[in-house]
Structure 1
Amino acid sequence: MIIRDILETELEELIALYADYTAKENLPPLSKKRIQKIWREVERNPGVHYFVLENENRIAAACILSITPSFIRGGSGYGVIEHVVTHPDFRRQGFARALMMYTLEFAWDNDCTEVMLLSGNDAKPAHKMYRNLGFKDDQRLGFIMFRQGER
């Protein structure tokens, strides 16, 4: 098991891993041109990290950490974790937990004072894991707005 930043050569595998997630929302597939545009944006943004957990030469789990600098709390930044996904073949083996622990340690090492996490309402087993990791769901109230026509 290795946890690291994703490589450009693994983008197709990442997109396939997200297929389960995107199928539920009836989202159109990304074109190769759009994938490359997103990758260039990720490469230029030092605060965005796509982490993958590799097992048996496959991406078993992935997530995104975005670190934002801030002028409050002594100038420490904050992190937002999104799109935590585990491949169906690797679920219930501790991979998501290991990936989350790595991602949190990375955030703390990069001067984040807090890390926020978004998770789908129906992901109850994941919610239990997040609580066991120390995430609190009673500290703040989050709101989400989607672009018109997106949902």
Structure 2
Amino acid sequence: MVTVRAIELQDLPALSHLYNELMGTPTNEVQMQKMFRYIQQNGHYYILGAFHEGKLVGSVMGIECMDLVGQCKPFMVVENVIVSELVRRQGIGQKLMLQIERIARDLACGYMILVSGDQRKEAHQFYEKLGFKDEKVQGTGSTLADLVSPADNLQMLVKYTKLLLSNVLCVQGGFIYHACD
């Protein structure tokens, strides 16, 4: 049986192992613990884990973001979706995604967005089955250092805003949208 619950501090070593499977690089566990404590205090982050026979086998993170457009409803960014290769195609990813969507609905989010790398074709098919739509938006690849220039403050602010939008929403080359309403 699989249970989905909030990740706790003692789950971080297993979560680090899952993230290594996702990203292919080890996570700095000391920094991870510091960031986790910050996330717990922030109140806008939701990190869920799927546990099978007491072992962490999947995870998803949702971040509630505030919006100042239209009805000014919040939206949720979904990140770090992973199910261990050992237990894929057993409904675990779907359970995680449905739970994070429930949280988004409870928060009255107007929509959810999900960033996924172009190379993750199988994952994209999974997201599309859940109702997400592939929008194929590309990021610029700029860094914060690129912003330093002799331009006046207004031009710098415009450039900074564009950078944030392109890198936060499209940093890995894929932009997937799902309505919560």
Partner of 1:127: 124
CA distance in 2, matches of 1:66, 1:144: 22
Aligned residues: 144
Pick from 38, 41, 59 the counterpart of residue 41 of structure 1.
38
Whether 1:7 aligns to 2:8 is yes
- Structure 1 78/52 Cα, relative in aligned 2: closer, same or farther at 3 Å? same
Aligned-pair distance for 1:118? 0.7
Task: Specify the SS of the correspondent of 1:116.
Answer: strand
Q: Which residue of 1 aligns with 2:162?
A: none
Q: Deviations over 1:40-71 (max 9, x none)?
A: 21111111111111111011110110001222
Q: Give the AA of the match of 2:33.
A: Q
How does the TM-score come out when normalised to structure 2? 0.73
Superposed displacement of residue 36, structure 1: 2.1
Q: Percent identity?
A: 25
Match of 1:71 in 2: 68
Alignment of 1:1-151 (within 5 A): 1-23=2-24, 27=25, 29-32=27-30, 34-138=31-135, 141-143=137-139, 145=141, 147=143
| Cα distance in 2 for residues equivalent to 1:36 and 1:57 | 21
Amino acid at match of 1:141: V
CA contact (8 A) 1:73 1:113 kept: no
Q: 1:141 to 1:135 in 2, by over 3 A?
A: same
The Cα RMSD (Å) is 2.0
SS at match of 1:111: coil
Displacement after TM superposition at 1:142 (Å): 4.9
The amino acid that maps onto 1:30 is N
Q: After the TM superposition, which segments of 4 or more aligned residues of structure 1 sit over 4 Å from their partners?
A: none
